[in-house]
Amino acid sequence: MVWLDFQTRALVAEPQLDITIQIDSDDEALKAAATKATQSGGIIGIPFEKYKDGRGFTLARILREEFGFQGEIIAFGHVVPDQAQFLLRTGFTKAEIGDEARFEAWLVALSRFQLHYQPTALHQGLGRKAYIDQRVENLNTQLSGAQNLQERLAIIKDYAKATYGHIAFSTSLQKEDQAITHALFSGLFGKDDAGDIKIFTLDTLRLFDDVIATIEATEKQYGITIKRITPDQAELAELVAQNGENGFYESVENRKACCFTRKVRPLSKALEPATLWITGLRRGQSDNRKDIALAKWDHDHGVMKINPVIDWSDEFLEAYLADNAIPVNPMHERGFPSIGCEPCTRAIKPGEDIRAGRWWWEQKDDSQKECGLHVATDQPSHSDQPLKGATA
């Protein structure tokens, strides 16, 4: 038998069930079980004889909401990933998941539904939208009050734990990303905590050699592996067949199609198991980013998006990098403040906007200078905004 802990998202040894309740237990029996388990610190097990039998959810909900049971409730028997939403919502802490091959499916299911189980919110009569708005507001208050990047990352970590979250950090090896990488993996953050963070980069297969070298230098310096997320081969072949290898020069539409295939789609896949997404966005990077918040609910990916260096100045960033001997891409010294794919990025002249070298052949409207990874989800909005598709 294989057991999954919903909070740590790890496989665990078979738990010692202290109290197993019958599926047809009445209120009196449930109350007695809750009292006994509370007094002894014991674990309550609820059987699921058939996966279509939802009585176990009702029993758990009654234990939590009627009798205030705060300890562990475990589901055993026939449970499937599709039931993750109900297991979380009704307060289960672990489940017997059959065999190890189902582990990934369970992780994905738990991530998707992590915001649904919020007993406090439910008790307060809050719906999902109100709950998310409240979370965003609280996070922004907490993060803006933090004294430094480490404190912000600690808040992020606590949030992830409280929401059974999986943290993803997307790096494009820009200076801001390198500062966050250092804060996460230099030992300041704690090796165990950093080990839970999935760091990845979108390898569009059109990157500069210096970007690849910076990835490797960063991995070496911090003893980490930065996962390269590449485009789907079939989708890429279709794009190239349709628009050519460098069709992005011909129209904004073609360029956005290329960014969609090489960046936006792979990002969505990379964020599928995540509940919290850390980025290196900074308001000073462009006018288009000047209103971005520290924390924002990302509708497109169903994650809490956090930008922990959003309010750093150029000077502060440079000092942080220098003081900590953080590796940076040597191209920055050659006039590339913002680095994307090789065919779409060139050096800028003194006085030009720092993103002027991105897709330089297109019109200069700053709103065009995005690839679709951040535009839609970072416009000022609230969680009742309709879901949007990709922006490319």
- Enumerate binding residues for ligand SF4 (CB under 6 A): 204, 206, 248, 255, 258-259, 262-263, 340-341, 343-344, 371
Cβ neighbourhood burial of 86 (10 Å; 0-12, 13-18, 19+): buried
Q: How many CB atoms lie within 10 A of CB 59?
A: 23
Task: Give least dist CB 349 to ligand SF4, A.
Answer: 20
Tokens of 20: 């197993």
Contacts of 194 (CB under 8 A, 6+ apart): 184, 185
Residue closer to ligand SF4, measured from CB, 166 or 206: 206
Q: Which is nearer to ligand SF4, 98 or 343 (CB)?
A: 343
Chain residue whose CB lies nearest ligand SF4: 341
| DSSP helix/strand/coil, 169 | strand
**Residue nearer to ligand SF4 on the CB measure, 104 or 250:** 250
Q: How far apart are CB 206 and ligand SF4 at their closest, in Å?
A: 4
> How far is CA 42 from its chain centroid?
33
| Residue 288, helix vs strand vs coil | helix
Give catalytic residues, as residue numbers: 371
Q: Which is nearer to ligand SF4, 38 or 254 (CB)?
A: 254
Q: Minimal distance in Å, beta carbon 55 to ligand SF4? A: 51
When the beta carbons of 198 and 346 are compared against ligand SF4, the nearer one is 346
Beta bridge partners of 341: 207
69 touches 37 (CB < 8 A)? yes
Q: How far is the CB of 239 from ligand SF4 (least distance, A)?
A: 9
Cβ 149 to ligand SF4, closest distance in Å?
28
Residues making up the chain, counted from first to last: 392
Q: Tell me which DSSP letter residue 123 carries.
A: H
